[in-house]
Structure formats: C-alpha cells, structure tokens
Structure 1
Amino acid sequence: MVKKSIIVSLMILFINSYLALANNNCSKCHKNTHLNGKHRDIGCIPCHPKTEKHYSNIFTFNNNNCLNCHKEYENIKNSVMHTRIKEKYQVEKIFYKYDKNFFNKNCAKSCHINSCLDCHEYNTKKHDIDLPQTETCLKCHNGYFVGTDYVGLGIKDDHERYQIGKKLHDKYYLSMLKDIHYEKGLKCNNCHDMISLSKGDIATKRCNECHTINTDIIEHSINAHIEKMECYACHSSWAPMEFGTFFIQFINSKNKKYFRWLTEKNDEYVKSSYFITNSEPLLAKNKKDKYSPVRPQFIYFFTKIVNNVPVGKENKLLAANWKTFFPHTIRKETVLCANCHFNPKKYVLQKDKDRIFLPEKEGLELTNFYNSKNQNIINGKFVTEKEFNEKIKISTKKYKRLYLKKINELYNVLNLIDKNQ
C-alpha cells in the first residue's frame, strides 16, 4: 500500500514537472501570453493538446478543449445559443421561398457561439478565463434581443439620423429606466447559469424563489392576478418593440444607394422598420396559459429588386409573428387598474377607429399592428374580444372598491412626498 502511494506521488510529481517544463518552453516563443484567472495553475498543455506539428490552439465545442474537464456542461453544444435551430427554422419557413441563402446572408455572421471562449475569455493576450460578466452577455444579448433593456438601454430606429447618444458595442440606444435587479447589483449569471443552459432551461431561478407575495398589497390581494398572470406582466416597466420589419434585396441594382441611410445587412440587403417604440408592454397568453408581455417577433415585409425593377409585389407580408417574452425591465411600481381592465389595445385588440397609423394606405397588407387579426403568436395565443369583454373588462362593486382604495393609497403617498420636500 505504501509502495503504491509512493508510485502515485512520483507520477504526479513527474506530470507536474513535465507540465512546468512544457509551459516554460511555451513561454520562450509566446512571450506575451500569461494565464490568469481560475486556470492560471493548470498550465498550457491541458487546453492545448499536442498535434502532429505543434500544439492545438483551436477552441471549439467539436474539439472539446474545455469539455474534457467540464464534462457536466457537454450538452451546451446542443443549446439554442449554439445551434440557433429556432431561428433557422423560422427563416426556412418564411424566407427560403424567396432566397434560400437568406440565413447565411443576414444571420450567420451575427451572434453564434462556437467556443466556450466566446463568453469566458476577456483578454486573449493574457488568457483571462472566468465567469462571464453582464458586459460580456451584452455583446450578443442586445438591441431587440433581451439584454440591453436590463441595463436601461432602449432600441432606436435604423435610420442614420438616430445613430447618436448612448453607445454600446457599436450600437446606439435610448436611455431608459433600468431593471431594479440591475440597480441592486445582480448580474446575468445570478439567474442564468451554465447548469440551466446545459439543460435547455432559460433560467435557473424564478421570481418566487427570491420573493414572497405580500397580500397586503392591493394588486396581490386579488387571486386572479396571482394565479393567472406572470409576475412580469405587471412589473415590466417598458419593452422594446419593432412593428413592421422590412428586408429589401437588391440584385444588380443601383437603387440600393437610395437606401444608404438604413442598416446594411450585407451587399444585397438593407433592413428597416415601420416604427420602433420603447413603451409599456402589451399582453397575451403564454404556453402556461398565463398573461404575459408580448411583442412582434417579427412582422416581416419583403421586397426583391432585380435590375432596378421590383420582382413581384413590393413590401409583401411574409409573416406576422408575435412572441410572449420576459422584458428585463422589472420595477416595483405597476400601471393603474384601468390601464389593463379597460384598454383593448393592451391585448392587441385596438379598434380601427382608434388607430394612429394607417399602413394599408401605404400599400401594406396589414391594416392594424395593434390588432391581432391576421397575426399569430408562436408560443402562446392572443386574448379574444370575448375574453376581454367578459373576463377582463369588469366594473363590479369589488373592482370599484379596490380601485378607490388604490387611488387613496397613491394620494397618501403624494402627500407624504410633499411633506418631505
């Protein structure tokens, strides 16, 4: 037994000596490379295995550089961040009839994780490898994709005249109200970690794991609110929303120069939108049959121009897809009762007479962006007029009593503020 222990110790000593020698050899040529962070003591060889000619410096999921040690995260290779299977399916379903290379031209060069280092490395010269920070996440989770809203950045129109103001990762944003969790110092990985992502779960923590429901709060005293609504249906202060996403394809056409102030996706395409807003979220039912924020994802229009002439119908409506989602704009405050109970627009049920925009007069096939007719949700369902009129639009004695109680509560708060000023 003693001999076996001595042999194991000698083997470990030999391996460490070998690694130390190998690492010293590496530093003779790679003079500006220093390993920092949690991996600083393991040396070069475990991550850069020997090849026929030298040592590997390619880090991909397929080469398993990191996963040789972190085997518990192996399924991360199959996560949607890596495969982008949902996006590819949507593009294939919507655009392939018009351009089979649409994904490669417009999507493939955007955010797509190929390696652990895409998120876990901060400085390639110093090999800083550690847990991702919020700033790292925002390299991909920005713009219309949930992320920058968490730090109080709202999306802007594509036109070049709006490309001013606050800038992050080469994009400009509006300054908006920050998520209260961000203000309190919570990072992305406090709710989203590798374990949950490897399992295909979006988050590792839900609201009720940190928060308890205080029924002394008027809104929380109503059972229907607690049982039938997501917490963030009331507590999301705003959401970025894009209505009417236009893709214009130019083939052998000089007319593209007239669109030079728009976002240029590549040599063939430009992208624009009918209008963009950062405003109070709309509501629909998610897969759990709970009321949840919802927004367009996306309402696609497509025009193909060949030799300066449109092919087929201009601004053809290819899809009007919406998606229930979780805006990361949580605040303690909520909207007033009437904003939900007497507002059909909140549920994408706006009447035509109440419209501001008239897209049909501009040749578009969709007449009202804020009405769910001829539109669909890919992960839930819209509220029907019958449901709104019979279950939401209520004016019972109990509703009126609670409404007056809420108004009185706000009045007392305002008096308190006045006294303290």
Structure 2
Amino acid sequence: MARKKVCCMLAFGLVFAAGSAAYAGGGCSTKECHAGLSDIKPADHEMMRTIKMNGAQHGDPDGCVMCHGGNPKATKKEEAHKGIPATLRMAPGPKDFYPDPGSIWIAENTCGACHPGYVYRTKQSLMNTEAGKISGNLHTWGFEEVQNFKNPYGNYDTEDIDGQEPISGTETYKEYMREQIAMYPDQYPTSLKMLPQPTLEEINKDPKKAALTYQRHDCQRCHIGVRGREKRGDYRGMGCSACHILYGNEGLYEGNDKSIDKTKPGHMLKHEIVGTRKTGGIPVESCNSCHNRGKRIGVSYQGLMEFPYGSPYDKNGKTQPKLHTKKYLFISDDLHHQVQSREGNPKGGLLCQDCHTSIDVHGDGNIHGTTMGQVEIECTDCHGRPDKYPWELPVGYGDEFGKKLDPKPRGVAEQRLIPGMQFGTKYDPEDGFVLTARGNPIGNVVRRGNKVIVHSATGNDFEVPVLKNLQLENKWKDPSAEVAMSSVSKHMDKMECYACHASWVPQCYGCHVQVNYSPKDGKPRQGIDWVASGNAQKKNGQTAESVLGTGGIKSAGKPMEKRSYLRWEDPVLGIGGEGRVTPLMPGCQVTYTVINEKGETLVNNEIAMAPDEAAQLGQKHVPLAIDMAPVQPHTAQRKARTCESCHANPKVAGLGLGGGAFGYRQSENIVEDLVDAKTGKPIPKNYKVQIPAIPKLKFDWSQIVDRDGTQLATVGTHWPLSRAFNKEELDNFLRAGTCMGCHQNMSEKELWKKVSTDGTLDPKKHLEMMNNMVKQMAKDGVKPAAMQK
C-alpha cells in the first residue's frame, strides 16, 4: 500500500528524490546527442511537467531519465546508455537504462510508477498471455489438455497472485465477475503454464505435438511481451509502447532527433506518447500491427480482406506492396470507421479506444481465457433496444452466457472509475456516464436527456442513434428495420446486433499446415520461437528478439501454411458463447502434415476429432475438430442483411455452400487424367494425383451441420453454449418455401391468369400486394392454422 501511495504522489507531481540534491545541468538533448528530440508529451501537459520536475531532481532537466534511466551526466553514448543516477536507486523510476521504457517486463519502474495497477493488469491480460488463441489452436489439433473449454497455457508462466477479485471496476462489475467465474471457472484460470516446447522424440511419438512448433513460430508473434516481426506494417514497440507509441507501416522515423537514422526501418514515427484526446488518440492502424490475423477484426474494421493477387497494377505496372506480409482487397469498412457520418454528426470515424474500455484492453487483474471473458461492452450499451434506453436495460443484457438476469435497470454512473478520473480526458458527466453490460461507467459516453453522446479521442463528439428514440419518433429509414428490431422482438432477445448488421466476414477456409523438421540444403529447418524469445528477458526490459536485426531465439521445425479458398460474403450463423445467434467464421480449420528430421512423413492431411464437442451436444456423432468460430467481425453496415440473405440461404444456416452440394469428394484422391467414364478409374498406368485426399473430410469446409441437426464440425472452443443450429432451429430458420406458397400456382395457367396481370411487380408493389392479401385473409377470418392446411 505504501508503494501505491508513493506512485500516486509521483503521478500528481509531488517530487520524491532519494539521496543528494539535483545534478546541475546535463540532459540528453544536447547537440552532441539527441538534439531536436521532442518532448514525449506537449510541454504544457501535466504529465510532461511532472516528468521534467522529477527528472531535474536526478540531474536531467529534460526528464528522459524518469523513463529511460541512464546517466544524464555522460558525454558519450556508451556511458549515457548505462545504469541510473544514484538518486534513483531508492526512488520510483528506472533501475537500469531502458531502450524501450514501455516494455512490460520493466514497466512497473516506468509507466507503472505513475499508473499503478496497469502493468499487473496488462501482464495478466490476453494482450500478453494469448491464452485463448493458444487453447483454440491446440483444440483443432486434438490436444486433450484444452478440451472441455480448459485454458492451461499462455506465453508465460502466469499466476493470479491477488486472487480472482478484479482489482479494477465498480462493485456491480466485481459482483458480476464473481458470478461469471463461479459459472465458468475454466474460462478464468488462476494460473497458466508457458506453452511447452516439444522435442523431436515427442513429435515422432505423437505427431500432433508439432502444433506446439507451429504455435510458437507462427502464431505467438503478436503479443506485447515481444516486439514483433520486422516486416512492413508489423513494426511496433513492446508492452505499453505497443499501443501508445506510434509506428508507421514503413517503420521510418519522422521526428527531429539528429541521432536517429531516417532511412532505416524499425523506428517509432515520432517521440511522443498518444492515447487521450489531447494527443489525438491511438489510430486504428496502430492496433492492426497485431489484429490482422486470427479474427482479423482490425483490418476488417478498415474494410480490408486479404487476397492473393495484389491487383490492380500501379502506374509502374507493379502489384501492391505487402502489408503484414499479405495483399488486400477493400470490401467495406465498418460504419463506425467511415469518415462520412450520419446526419447531424461531424465527419470522421471512431477509434478502437472510443468503444473499448480500459478493462477490455488492459484487463481487470484476473487471468482471462478468452476474448469474451475480458471484453465488457455490448452494442446495446449505447444503442439500447426499441423498447428500452441503455440505462433501462439490466446489467448483463447481451452478455447473458446462460444467466438469468435481474430485471432491475442498470441506470447510469455519476463518476468514472478512479484510473479514468486520474489519467483520462475529463468529460462532464451531464446526466450520467453510460454503463457497460457488466456495470462499469464508459468514461467517454454520456447520457444527455434521452440522447447518448460519444466523446471520441479524435476530438469529435457523436450523437448515437438510440433505437427507442427511432421507435418513439417513427424515424426508421427502412420499414424492414422496424420489423426486424421491433415487430419481431425475438430478434433482439436472441440475436447479436451484428448477426444482421455485419454483412460480411473474412472467411479463410481450410488451414493446411505442414511442419517440417527435415534438413534443407544440408541445414536444419528452424524458425523464430516467439515464446522462447519472449521468455529470454533482460534486466533492461529487452527480450531475445527485440533489438532490431537480432532475429530472436530459433528452434527446430519450419511450419508452412496453405488455404483451400477465401470468401467474405454471407457469413454463416450459429449460436455463440453468450447464447445468442452470431456470425461464425472459419477459426482454426487445421489439416496437418508432419515430416520428421529424417524426412519421413509421420501424418498426412490429418484432422483431429472433438469428442468433447459431441459430449457437450449430447450427440453420438463425433464432430471434426476444425472450428467455425463465433465472432464479432467489426464489419457493421448501416443497411443490414436482408431477411432472404439469411432465411433462404443454406450456407448461412450452416449447411454449406450450395446446401452441401460442393466439396463432397475431398476425402478421396482426385486424378485429373484420362479416366474411364464407367469406373472413374484412370486409364494410363503412369499418372499423378492432382488433388490429394483429406481422408476425414467428407463435406465442404463451409458446412458445420447436416439437415437433421447433426453437428459435423466444432463451433467455438471456448464456451459451452456455442454450437450450430439444431434441427428445430433449422426448420424455423429456413423459410425458402415461403415464396413457393404462391408461385407454385404459376403452373396452373387458368388460375394464374385470373390472379396475375401483364408485366412484372417491382419489390415495393409485391410487398404491398402480399400485405393486402394478409389483411384480406384476416378480414375474412382466415386463421393461421387454416392457412397452413
């Protein structure tokens, strides 16, 4: 507690200096060193004044020593970038020279000195542990350790040393999380073990353990414990710097520090911290240095979908440069990202931080096994329902996870959480801060009468379209919106908002993974082991790969990936972990091939099974472990999907492209040569297999369920409620026969002649005719049961 008090005193500008008085003169921005270097914050900013005031007590009027450490009296780089002033040994601040003060491994002595609690929370958060990504991938390889929704592994050995009471949040939030943890203890583990490193002996005995090599080499590079890959679009800092220090896609420095090479990639854009409204917030593209794989929510929010071609050509006849090692097609960005706003609002899009809270990003001090375990917000927190304002909704609405909610309205908050009051931009609460689904104030979103105002970190203020106001004022822009959200109230009760509003989802079907341990050109195949590199921490906060050009620790094996095909339109729907209808996207749909150090193929195109999924569903048929994952795709559009795009589309129902008509021969070798049409066998004796078989895959990647409601593949690996539609739901969902009820009579020419006229009906007139017919039937006393007969 004493430590926290000291940190808070430092944060508010009260100087703590151990030992002797301040050094005279000195500093880092002399002409021989970092001449032209800008302050990390504007000179008039309270944070900058505090840093300089404290720095002066340790011989550095520029304040650099308060973040970086080092020797401010030195005149040579080697001496300056070493150690700390004696006065800092007992005072809050660095304990060595830190090249990146934001590194999570030393941030308690830098950022944490003024922001108590943040570093511990962030270390435990998914940004650092990536527990959910690890368990999801291992499940698709058939690891028993992660079956039944368990989360045993992370990037690091991690322990929740203060117990499972969140250290951040209101009492309402903490009570909500206590109940959540009691219901789903495996999604909120008390500790994690570092992802194991397999030996070649283990892989030869159990080839699926090659998944650990694949995970360590290909999947774990994005967590904030490491600096990440040195590729275009992937340059970033570590820990706090990963988000709060900006890097351009080219990784080039554009500041005025004379000592930094402006032609060498890998440097920050400028020497400045961003985050609050005073500094313009954190651009979406900064988040995308990590959020471009897996769920791909960052690039999807921008409207980008990876594709192989790189077209169109530029003026020099070249295809587009690779970004995150991929090439992109623009589909449609999320409406919240678009510069063109709705009428009455300023131009400009929302940043990720405008919606996502500090707990969403930094965590609450607990270990979270999945994204939905940590993220506390729902669409209805700002938009409400057609019959209820956000403050009239109960705590937990949209976030039910099978819980029965207390119907008491959640109300609003008069104050923000303490960290928000200390460090965030201060906003007038007006009629109260709007609350998240879990009961925390959203510090930049306020109630103004019956309106909701979002204060964006960009400097813009936006009025949110509140559904109850649209209903009361009859301002629906499309009658189908009122029908979908108000008339058919079950949509709001049972569906995620983005089940309709996310008109596209990136769909990368079939992840063909080869892990090869055999030598190539006489040299062992190796790759960067991001877990090993991140765990090789130095006292200056750096890791084995964080110094530019070092490459990190390497380990045996070389993973390679291919895919079957890409789609983006008409995402599949199913049931998500919260128990609501949600979009699904291909998660880890792994079919794996493993080649050992002798060049022997241990397994070829293997797919694991998911007996835990069968047990959870209560069905005899054991689904394949390839995953179709529930997702909030961050691709919301103003105009939602049409009724027909779901209710008349077998793919959306989970029955696969073409209703299961495609991909049914994937389980056999396909020969493309002279073939006997009677037997289907090749005529030549010398032929090659054109398309190798995936023995267990007897249906298309896009299919997850058959028409009888038997689930064929995994749907989500993290929460018990996630699944495909069952038979009853499929029967209700598929309404393709609705049109045929009338149009089958077109074959009866005499009847059709009497009820039809020349020409065609446009959609509006067609709807009017159907509406009039229904009204006439009601007037004639025709009941629905009689109509069915």
TM bucket normalised to smaller: 0.7 to 0.9
Which sits farther off after the overlay, 364-373 or 43-52? 43-52
**In structure 2, what is the Cα distance between the partners aligned to 1:278 and 1:351?**
13
**In structure 1, what is the Cα distance between the partners aligned to 2:303 and 2:572?**
19
- Does structure 1 conserve the Cα–Cα contact (< 8 Å) formed by 2:494 and 2:581? yes
Q: What secondary structure does 2:113 align onto?
A: coil
- Could you tell me which residue of structure 1 aligns to residue 333 of structure 2? 178
**Residue 62 of structure 1 is aligned with which of 105, 108, 113?**
105
- Does structure 2 conserve the Cα–Cα contact (< 8 Å) formed by 1:36 and 1:128? yes
| Cα deviation 1:364-420 (Å, max 9, x = unaligned) | 1222223224311224111023321146548789x99xxxxx9428999xxxxxxxx
Summarize the Cα distance change of 1:305–1:408 in structure 2 as closer, same or farther, 3 Å threshold.
same
- Could you tell me which residue of structure 2 aligns to residue 106 of structure 1? 218
- Could you tell me which residue of structure 2 aligns to residue 27 of structure 1? 29
- Does structure 1 conserve the Cα–Cα contact (< 8 Å) formed by 2:310 and 2:328? no
Summarize the Cα distance change of 1:36–1:386 in structure 2 as closer, same or farther, 3 Å threshold.
same
**In structure 1, what is the Cα distance between the partners aligned to 2:112 and 2:24?**
22
Q: TM-score, normalised by structure 2?
A: 0.44
Larger Rg: 2
Summarize the Cα distance change of 1:169–1:316 in structure 2 as closer, same or farther, 3 Å threshold.
closer
- Is 1:194 equivalent to 2:358 in the alignment? yes
**Residue 667 of structure 2 is aligned with which of 353, 360, 363?**
360
Q: What's the CA shift for 1:352?
A: 8.1
> Could you tell me which amino acid in structure 2 is paired with residue 48 of structure 1?
H
Q: What secondary structure does 2:697 align onto?
A: coil
Where does structure 1 lack aligned partners over 5 or more consecutive residues?
Answer: 1-10, 256-264, 401-405, 413-421
Q: What's the CA shift for 1:246?
A: 1.0
- The total of aligned residue pairs comes to 387
- Could you tell me which residue of structure 1 aligns to residue 594 of structure 2? 304
- Is 1:153 equivalent to 2:325 in the alignment? no
**Residue 340 of structure 1 is aligned with which of 616, 631, 646?**
646
> Could you tell me which amino acid in structure 2 is paired with residue 360 of structure 1?
S
- Could you tell me which residue of structure 2 aligns to residue 218 of structure 1? 483
Summarize the Cα distance change of 1:207–1:166 in structure 2 as closer, same or farther, 3 Å threshold.
farther
- Does structure 2 conserve the Cα–Cα contact (< 8 Å) formed by 1:166 and 1:173? no
- Does structure 2 conserve the Cα–Cα contact (< 8 Å) formed by 1:230 and 1:292? yes
| Cα deviation 1:212-269 (Å, max 9, x = unaligned) | 33455222221111211111000002110111101112232559xxxxxxxxx99612
- Could you tell me which residue of structure 2 aligns to residue 119 of structure 1? 243
Summarize the Cα distance change of 1:111–1:330 in structure 2 as closer, same or farther, 3 Å threshold.
same
Q: What secondary structure does 2:702 align onto?
A: coil
| Cα deviation 1:280-336 (Å, max 9, x = unaligned) | 211001122211001121110111234785523311113311211111111121232
- Could you tell me which residue of structure 1 aligns to residue 572 of structure 2? 282
Q: TM-score, normalised by structure 1?
A: 0.78
**In structure 1, what is the Cα distance between the partners aligned to 2:24 and 2:503?**
55
Summarize the Cα distance change of 1:201–1:354 in structure 2 as closer, same or farther, 3 Å threshold.
closer
> Could you tell me which amino acid in structure 2 is paired with residue 83 of structure 1?
T
**In structure 1, what is the Cα distance between the partners aligned to 2:126 and 2:604?**
33
**In structure 2, what is the Cα distance between the partners aligned to 1:89 and 1:22?**
55
**Residue 138 of structure 1 is aligned with which of 274, 284, 288?**
288
> Could you tell me which amino acid in structure 1 is paired with residue 288 of structure 2?
L
- Could you tell me which residue of structure 2 aligns to residue 419 of structure 1? none
- Is 1:408 equivalent to 2:520 in the alignment? no
More helix by share: 1
> Could you tell me which amino acid in structure 1 is paired with residue 667 of structure 2?
E
Summarize the Cα distance change of 1:23–1:287 in structure 2 as closer, same or farther, 3 Å threshold.
farther
Report the identity percentage.
23
Summarize the Cα distance change of 1:313–1:102 in structure 2 as closer, same or farther, 3 Å threshold.
closer
Q: What secondary structure does 1:154 align onto?
A: strand
Q: What secondary structure does 1:25 align onto?
A: coil
Q: What's the CA shift for 1:278?
A: 1.6
**Residue 73 of structure 1 is aligned with which of 103, 108, 118?**
118
**In structure 2, what is the Cα distance between the partners aligned to 1:268 and 1:170?**
17
| Cα deviation 1:46-102 (Å, max 9, x = unaligned) | 323469834421532232121121114231221101111122334445377332433
Which sits farther off after the overlay, 153-162 or 278-287? 153-162
Summarize the Cα distance change of 1:281–1:20 in structure 2 as closer, same or farther, 3 Å threshold.
farther
| Cα deviation 1:11-48 (Å, max 9, x = unaligned) | 96896xx9985784333464244323255432223323
- Does structure 2 conserve the Cα–Cα contact (< 8 Å) formed by 1:191 and 1:203? no
- Is 1:89 equivalent to 2:130 in the alignment? no
- Could you tell me which residue of structure 2 aligns to residue 262 of structure 1? none
Summarize the Cα distance change of 1:73–1:34 in structure 2 as closer, same or farther, 3 Å threshold.
same
Summarize the Cα distance change of 1:22–1:350 in structure 2 as closer, same or farther, 3 Å threshold.
farther
Which sits farther off after the overlay, 139-148 or 40-49? 40-49
- Does structure 2 conserve the Cα–Cα contact (< 8 Å) formed by 1:84 and 1:112? no
- Does structure 2 conserve the Cα–Cα contact (< 8 Å) formed by 1:245 and 1:298? yes
Which sits farther off after the overlay, 223-232 or 330-339? 330-339
> Could you tell me which amino acid in structure 2 is paired with residue 67 of structure 1?
G
- Is 1:240 equivalent to 2:506 in the alignment? yes
> Could you tell me which amino acid in structure 1 is paired with residue 221 of structure 2?
K
Q: What secondary structure does 1:67 align onto?
A: helix
Summarize the Cα distance change of 1:252–1:19 in structure 2 as closer, same or farther, 3 Å threshold.
farther
- Could you tell me which residue of structure 2 aligns to residue 389 of structure 1? 731
- Does structure 1 conserve the Cα–Cα contact (< 8 Å) formed by 2:515 and 2:557? no
Summarize the Cα distance change of 1:351–1:31 in structure 2 as closer, same or farther, 3 Å threshold.
closer
Which sits farther off after the overlay, 172-181 or 32-41? 32-41
- Is 1:53 equivalent to 2:343 in the alignment? no
> Could you tell me which amino acid in structure 1 is paired with residue 300 of structure 2?
D
Q: What secondary structure does 2:360 align onto?
A: helix
Q: What's the CA shift for 1:111?
A: 4.3
**In structure 1, what is the Cα distance between the partners aligned to 2:221 and 2:501?**
35
Q: What secondary structure does 2:652 align onto?
A: helix
- Could you tell me which residue of structure 1 aligns to residue 527 of structure 2? none
More strand by share: 1
Summarize the Cα distance change of 1:19–1:115 in structure 2 as closer, same or farther, 3 Å threshold.
farther
| Cα deviation 1:132-189 (Å, max 9, x = unaligned) | 2212111111144211111111122499999944754443101111111111411111
- Could you tell me which residue of structure 2 aligns to residue 376 of structure 1? 714
Q: What secondary structure does 1:315 align onto?
A: strand
Q: How does 1:313-332 map to 2 (within 5 A)?
A: 313-318=603-608, 319-332=625-638
> Could you tell me which amino acid in structure 2 is paired with residue 344 of structure 1?
P
- Does structure 1 conserve the Cα–Cα contact (< 8 Å) formed by 2:305 and 2:331? yes
